[in-house]
Amino acid sequence: MNAVLDVQEFRVRYGHSEALHGVDLQVREGELAAVAGANGAGKSTLVGAVAGWSRGKVTVTGSVALDGVDVAGLAPHRRVAAGIVLVPEGKGVFENLTVEDNLRLVRAARDARGRRYSVEDVYAVFPQLKERATKKCSTLSGGERQMVAIGRALRAAPRLLILDEPSVGLAPRLVLEVLQHIRQLVDEGLTVLLVEQNVRATLEVADRIYLLEQGKVAAEGSAGEMRADDRIAEAYLGGLRT
Ligand SMILES: Nc1ncnc2c1ncn2[C@@H]1O[C@H](COP(=O)(O)OP(=O)(O)OP(=O)(O)O)[C@@H](O)[C@H]1O
C-alpha cells in the first residue's frame, strides 16, 4: 500500500543536542497511525519537523515525502498547501472569538477529491459545536476547544491531518470522546497521524502505533501486535494486557 507520508532517517538537532536519532515512519492511506511515548521522547519534535514548524536553533536531516513528493525543503505554509496540516499541542484556538468565527478564519480549501469542508460539515462531525456556535471559545470545555481546533484544521482540507496530543489536559471521559471523533474521521476516509502520551487510549483507536523512546522508534506494529507485546504491557499498561 502506498504511503501518504514517508519519513526516512529523520534526525533533529537542537544546537548540539540530538533529539531524534534517525526515525523512519510511514502513514498509509486512510489509516490512523499514532506516535506514542513518554514526556520528552521526541514526539512533538518529530511532528513539528514534519510540518516544518521546528522552534529554536534546529537542524533537520532526512527525507519527508507526501504522496511520494519530497516536501522537506518547503516552508511550513507550502507544506499546508501540499496537505500537511498540524494541530499543535495546546490547540491554538482564539479564546475571544466565537466558535463560528474560529472556524471561518480559515478559507475552506478543496482536498484532492475536490471536497470542501464547510462550517456546516464541521458541525456535522461535531454537533455540540453547532449548539455553541455563538459562544466565545473561552467558555468552552477543553474537549470542545479541541474539536474547534480539529474542525478548523479540516477546513484546510488536509491530505494528512497531524494531531499533537489532542487529549492533553482533558478529563478521562473527554479523552475517549475526542479520540473516537478522530477515529470516525478516519473511518470516513481521512488519513491521520496522532501523537499521544496515553498508550492505553491510543491502543483503543489507532490502526498502527510507533513507540518512541528517547528519540528512537523502540517498537512499531498494529494495535493488536502492540497489545500482545510484553514489553509494552510491562512499561505502559501497568503489566496488564488490555
Ligand atoms: N525548542 C527546543 N530547544 C531545545 N531542546 C528542545 C526544544 N524542544 C524540545 N527539546 C528537547 O527535545 C527532546 C524531545 O522533546 P519533545 O517536546 O519533542 O518531546 P515529547 O515527546 O513531545 O514530550 P511531551 O510529551 O512532554 O510534549 C527533549 O529532550 C526536549 O527537552
Query: Domains along the chain?
Result: 31-41+75-236 (3.40.50.300)
Which pLDDT value is given to residue 41?
A: 93
Nearest Cα residue to 215 out of 1, 7, 18, 8: 18
* Percent of the chain whose predicted confidence (pLDDT) is above 90: 62
**39: CA distance to ligand 1 center in Å?**
8
User: Tell me, what's the ipTM?
Assistant: 0.95
Nearest Cα residue to 212 out of 18, 48, 23, 9: 23
pLDDT grade for 12, boundaries at 50, 70 and 90 = very high
Report whether pLDDT(178) > 70.
Answer: yes
Which residue is listed with cell 473561552?
138
Q: Are residues 237 and 230 in contact, defined by beta-carbon separation less than 8 angstroms?
A: no
Residue 200 in grid coordinates: 492505553
Report whether pLDDT(215) > 90.
Answer: yes
Give the HSE-up count for residue 172: Cα atoms under 13 Å, Cβ half-sphere: 2
51 contacts: CB under 8 Å, gap ≥ 6: 76, 79, 80, 84, 85, 86, 162
Which pLDDT value is given to residue 237?
A: 72
Residues contacting ligand 1 via CB (< 6 Å):
14, 19, 37, 39-45, 55-56, 197
Nearest CA to ligand 1 atom 6: 14
Which pLDDT value is given to residue 91?
A: 67
Mean pLDDT of 82-107: 90
pLDDT digits (tens, 9 = 90+) for 68-77: 999 998 999 9
Report whether pLDDT(234) > 80.
Answer: no
